[in-house]
Amino acid sequence: MDLELLKTKLATVPELDVDKGISNSVGSLKNYRKSLYLVFKSIRFKLPMLSSMLEYDEYDGLRIILHTMSQFLTTVGADSLVEASRSIEKSYLNDQLTADVFQIYLEHLASFVERLETGIRQVDSLLQNAPDHIHSVSNYKETKSSYDMASIDTISMKKVM
């Protein structure tokens, strides 16, 4: 799989460092796509929650969500959003968080989620057009086969005496 083609498909999401995201996904395009989808789903779910937390002065929960988001944004290579999340968290800790600054952050996150959804669809079209055996950017060979994974599941289901 051509890394440049993948970068082209994700060009609508400039916040993503595709090289870093692929590296964090052990070179697997399928794993990177799954990570992107999980980030998309999580942020889309949390956006309304974040707005209401600020509105009702629920700053501790807000801080926990921001910290968590910065962790999973790191996984997909969204470093600029990680820095923004950390900056908002620091502002809160220093009693400098204003509603205006937080609203700008939320708008940026909402824009990111919309563009990420488009990017994920582009990656899906790339995966559909690729042969089944080509889902790795760096030809990473997984060490466990589906047979190995099935036997691990079987072993884990047995009672330990």
Q: Read off the pLDDT of residues 58-111 as tens digits, 9 standing for 90 and up.
A: 888 888 999 999 999 999 999 999 999 999 989 988 989 888 999 999 999 999
Domain containing residue 44: 3-157
Query: Taking the model in full, what pTM does it have?
Result: 0.77
Place of tokens 């190995």: 148
Check residue 41 and give its pLDDT.
95
Contacts made by residues 153-159, CB under 8 angstroms, sequence distance 24+: none
- For the chain, the domain total comes to 1
Interatomic CA distance for residues 118 and 142, integer angstroms: 28
Percent of the chain with pLDDT over 90: 52
Task: Report the 10 Å Cβ neighbour count for 70.
Answer: 20
